[in-house]
Chain A
Amino acid sequence: MINSREALIQTTEAAKATLASYGCRILVCSGTGCIASGSEAVYEEFRKLAKDDHNVVLEFKPHDEAEHDSEVVSDVKNALGVKKTGCQGVCELGPLVRIQKGDDVIQYIKVKPENCEEIFQRSVRQDDVIESLLYHQGEEAFRGPDDIPFIAKQTRIVLENCGKYDAESFDEYLAGGGFTALQKALFEMKPEEVVDEVDKSGLRGRGGGGFPAGRKWKQVARQPEKERFVVCNGDEGDPGAFMDGSVMEGDPYKLIEGMMIAGYACGAENGYIYVRAEYPMSVARLRKAIATLEEVGLLGDDILGTGYNFHMHINRGAGAFVCGEGSALTASIEGNRGMPRVKPPRTVEKGLWAKPTVLNNVETYANVPKIILQGSDWFRSIGTENSTGTKTFSLTGSIQNTGLIEVPMGTTLREIIFDIGGGLKDGGSFKAVQIGGPSGGCLTEQHLDEPLDFESVKKFGAIIGSGGLVVMDDNTCMVEVARFFMSFTQRESCGKCIPCREGTKRMLEILERIVNGDGELQDLDLLEELATMIKSMALCGLGKSAPLPVLSTLRTFRDEYVEHIVNHKCRAKVCAAMRTFHINPEFCKNCGKCMRSCPVGAITGNREVGYTINSKQCIRCGACKENCAFDAIYVEM
């Protein structure tokens, strides 16, 4: 049991000693991405190799020295750790493995089980580097993770532990400085001082709205009602965003520590984490972390002998995007339909079970320990005047290096896409980047050099949102993208208020019409009118922001809409209804199969003169192309 500050310090020292005693650690990335690429098999292979090797001690722990042969243990250089870490960042190049000896780290990419033996012999037992498994850019190879431009150009605060430590290990979290912030808060600061520090840091909610966290905490702390709650929004529903999932599965203890500090600051004894259903691993790792903390006494009653009580609970989402909205989320925890309610009263006054509630998202809480530890001035030194600190983004779409990144607020899009992301995939040309998911908008070429912070992005009609960045190239049709987002919000609309329920449906119908080639020019005015109406009248933030992707694409890519309507042309060659089918007489053998397979009789001709497709009659089903044995039918956009 860790029931006093001294006991915690002692345990931390022991954990640090253990960590320092490893001659070598093999760090296998166990983020969702790398596991999908097969990192579990790589991990098992390394464990097997280590077990079979009698010269090393696997998972060395100083306090069970007695169990080992004393001769081996005395030579700590032989202690080997095989660990599963949180996301190491470059998801597309997984499975990722780091070989760490003291301060020296080698980063290997695309490691397969059959590479493990060689790595073990050459890089673990000896100090050799396997060039072919390093990250390459052109001819140049990069040895350590911090040498790779993708990682070197980031500032990692929230993600600092991801990839460095065993994500499931309490000891490793302690050894990396975990729970020192909680100690400082509990023993050296009054609750109001903690609130003040967070307030002064300028930390703003990372979930979308960007409301100052400190102000929220202050409002909860001054409520007359004494029973209060701390709730974490881990319902990261924006398609194309996986930052919060990576924090929950990669550094679960940090999130919990942040919430414990919030609980202390605001006088709450219960914390809830609401995790979306699609993140089973986040749930598993958080549960494990909570169980461990309860076991050692860091969660529960009278934490570290201070009299502070804090209990943690996990709720799993059940597949409703709208539960990312505060009042819908608390309704869902209470066991109700997840529907937003009219505000005020706001969550800080009447949140969970109608009690004052601090509701922040995962990344916001994960920032808290470092702010307490290093102070608000340090935090303010990163980022911009009104958007302090860093922001995590998931960088996806048509980009060279996809993955999880963290940069100071105010970094430009150009730095993110070209310096960190390595530019567009397959040499494509940049068209737009979609930011903020279905509540956000598109930024284009002209915004590349603008700083990304809460204010400036809002100025361009988008939002930072939770931080999904989906890069789009010439092969992306912006009208289709707008339709895609609208179909998402329409499906996810909870149906409580009419502007959102009916409005999104009508907007979707119009967009489908345009994409199917049946649009009219006046549809564009109608879209704008509906969008403005929904934006101003919907009940909750999700409804209010639902039209943003349409408004934003209409503003910047209006000519593409017009092209679809007037010229029946989709320049990205995406919209199926804009296709026309033709027969290439060079390959055609006049067999007539296409004519027989056409369901509407749009193909005419005979064996002597050949066949032609009447594009007026053609329904663009593609049956002729599929049935042609000679590849003689081609598609034009």
Chain B
Amino acid sequence: MLEEAYYQKADEIIEHYGKKAASLIPIMQDIQAEYRYLPGELLTYVAGQIGITEEKAYSVATFYENFSFEQKGKYVVKVCDGTACHVRKSVPILEAFQKELGLSAKKHTSDDMLFTVETVSCLGACGLAPTVMVNEDVHPKMTPEKVQALIQELRGDKK
């Protein structure tokens, strides 16, 4: 069972967008922004509140890549692998993150729940390729060497 506070937060968000089917995606986005993932129980609750079936809510949530039923790390690192970044060698940067944090193509989140590493298809900062986005901050002209420094900086940030 989730704590009561989760439902209160969900109510607030539902209130903001209105109890209608079209509000589903923005509601899920705000819940995920709040908790860094989409708690399944909460999704069921939202479906009931806005008048759609549970399976409809899940079918939509699983369609879009941004929604996650698993909790993500405090820092969501999105390594851009768009064309411009790919041509300027973004794959070694992804590998550097994975190696440094003990992650792989299957394991995205570090055990200490600090980092989630994903790829993204374009961040729109192609002029500064290769780029990496940490939460909402874009880091330009990355190199595998800079990865280590960035991780250390973020780790220090937590204290």
Instruction: Digitize B19-57: 1 where CB-to-A-CB distance is under 8 Å, 0 elsewhere.
Output: 011111110110000000000000000000000100000
CA distance A396 to B137 in the complex (A): 21
Question: Would B63 and A484 count as touching, CB distance under 8 A?
Answer: no
Q: Point out the residues of chain A lying under 8 angstroms from B128, CB to CB.
A: 33, 36-37, 91-92, 94, 402
Q: Point out the residues of chain A lying under 8 angstroms from B140, CB to CB.
A: 33, 36-37
- A335 proximal to B (CB < 8 A): yes
CA distance A398 to B93 in the complex (A): 18
- B113 proximal to A (CB < 8 A): no
CA distance A242 to B122 in the complex (A): 8
- B59 proximal to A (CB < 8 A): yes
CA distance A70 to B128 in the complex (A): 46
- B13 proximal to A (CB < 8 A): no
Known: A238-B122, A316-B29, A337-B63. A397 touches B22 (CB 8 A): no
Pick the contact of A239 from B25, B60, B122 — CB < 8 Å?
B122
Question: Would A397 and B60 count as touching, CB distance under 8 A?
Answer: no
CA distance A332 to B78 in the complex (A): 23
Q: Point out the residues of chain B lying under 8 angstroms from A280, CB to CB.
A: 136
Q: Point out the residues of chain A lying under 8 angstroms from B125, CB to CB.
A: 32-33, 36, 91, 242
- B67 proximal to A (CB < 8 A): yes
Using a Cβ–Cβ cut-off of 8 Å, how many residues does chain A contribute to the interface with B? Answer: 55
How many A-B contacts are there with CB distance less than 8 Å?
141
Q: Point out the residues of chain A lying under 8 angstroms from B78, CB to CB.
A: 278
Question: Would B67 and A318 count as touching, CB distance under 8 A?
Answer: yes
CA distance A32 to B127 in the complex (A): 10
- B121 proximal to A (CB < 8 A): yes
Residue of B nearest to A240 (CB): B83
Min CB distance B113 to A, Å, is: 22
- B124 proximal to A (CB < 8 A): yes
- A472 proximal to B (CB < 8 A): yes
Min CB distance A583 to B, Å, is: 24
Using a Cβ–Cβ cut-off of 8 Å, how many residues does chain B contribute to the interface with A? Answer: 43
Min CB distance A246 to B, Å, is: 8
Question: Would A237 and B29 count as touching, CB distance under 8 A?
Answer: no
Question: Would A321 and B123 count as touching, CB distance under 8 A?
Answer: no
Q: Point out the residues of chain A lying under 8 angstroms from B129, CB to CB.
A: 396-397, 402
- A56 proximal to B (CB < 8 A): no
Q: Point out the residues of chain A lying under 8 angstroms from B29, CB to CB.
A: 316, 318
Instruction: Digitize A374-406: 1 where CB-to-B-CB distance is under 8 Å, 0 elsewhere.
Output: 000000000000000000001011100011100
Question: Would A318 and B64 count as touching, CB distance under 8 A?
Answer: yes
94-124 of chain B: CB within 8 A of chain A: 120-124
Instruction: Digitize B120-149: 1 where CB-to-A-CB distance is under 8 Å, 0 elsewhere.
Output: 111111111101010011111000000000
CA distance A13 to B29 in the complex (A): 41
Q: Point out the residues of chain A lying under 8 angstroms from B65, CB to CB.
A: 318-320
User: Taking chain B's interface residues, is the majority helix, strand, or loop, or is none over half, making it mixed?
Assistant: mixed
Question: Would A278 and B126 count as touching, CB distance under 8 A?
Answer: no
Residue of A nearest to B32 (CB): A318
Question: Would B121 and A321 count as touching, CB distance under 8 A?
Answer: yes
Min CB distance B3 to A, Å, is: 26
- A327 proximal to B (CB < 8 A): no
Min CB distance B59 to A, Å, is: 6
Pick the contact of A404 from B26, B127, B139 — CB < 8 Å?
B127
Min CB distance B19 to A, Å, is: 12
Residue of B nearest to A320 (CB): B64
- A142 proximal to B (CB < 8 A): no
Q: Point out the residues of chain B lying under 8 angstroms from A488, CB to CB.
A: 121
Q: Point out the residues of chain A lying under 8 angstroms from B137, CB to CB.
A: 36
CA distance A277 to B135 in the complex (A): 12
- B74 proximal to A (CB < 8 A): no
Min CB distance A123 to B, Å, is: 25
CA distance A403 to B129 in the complex (A): 11
- A437 proximal to B (CB < 8 A): yes
Q: Point out the residues of chain B lying under 8 angstroms from A336, CB to CB.
A: 60
Residue of B nearest to A89 (CB): B127
Question: Would A338 and B64 count as touching, CB distance under 8 A?
Answer: yes
CA distance A315 to B28 in the complex (A): 12
Residue of A nearest to B120 (CB): A278
Q: Point out the residues of chain A lying under 8 angstroms from B121, CB to CB.
A: 237, 239, 321, 488, 492
Min CB distance A162 to B, Å, is: 14
Residue of A nearest to B137 (CB): A36
- A236 proximal to B (CB < 8 A): yes
Known: A33-B127, A488-B121. A239 touches B83 (CB 8 A): yes
Q: Point out the residues of chain A lying under 8 angstroms from B86, CB to CB.
A: 239, 484
490-533 of chain A: CB within 8 A of chain B: 492, 494
13 A-B interface contacts by CB (under 8 A): A35-B138, A36-B139, A91-B128, A239-B83, A240-B84, A240-B122, A316-B25, A338-B63, A396-B84, A396-B127, A402-B126, A437-B83, A470-B126
In the A-B complex, the 5 residue pairs with the smallest Cβ-Cβ separation, listed nearest first, are A91-B127, A239-B82, A319-B65, A318-B64, A240-B83
